[in-house]
Amino acid sequence: MEKQEQIELLVLLDTTPLEDKEKFEKHLKKEGFKIVEEEDFVYTAKSSTTLFATKAYILEVFKVGLQKVNFDGEANLIFLLNETPYPAYYYDKNTKEFELTKEDE
């Protein structure tokens, strides 16, 4: 079986202040994400799964992280997989899921 190449991830979260950013980032670190120093809400990681599985994992990890902390306002997520940008997502507080932004549907 051929070894799969690792995917480089860069994730940017655009959000209003979180009630407990430390708790949020502790969750991300536990899930394999690293904080980009001197950047607010920017994270990196590597993945050895498929692009589809990696995208699903990012959305799930950040969703769970946001659900662990309280925040007012909005949260938007954009990410690059191997420097390829993916559509933007927003966190829908009604469904408690990340949804594609309207212009990207």
Task: Write out the residue range of the structural domain in which residue 15 sits.
Answer: 7-104
Residue 71 covered by a domain: yes
98: burial class by Cβ within 10 Å (0-12, 13-18, 19+)?
Answer: buried
pLDDT band at residue 73 under the 50/70/90 scheme: confident
- Please check the confidence at residue 51 and state whether its pLDDT lies above 80: yes
Mean pLDDT of the 5-12 span: 94
Residue 2 lies in a domain: no
- Domain membership of residue 90 (yes or no) is yes
Provide the whole-model pTM.
0.91
**Does residue 1 sit within a domain?**
no
Residue 76 lies in a domain: yes
Tally the domains of the chain: 1
For residue 64, the model assigns a pLDDT of 95
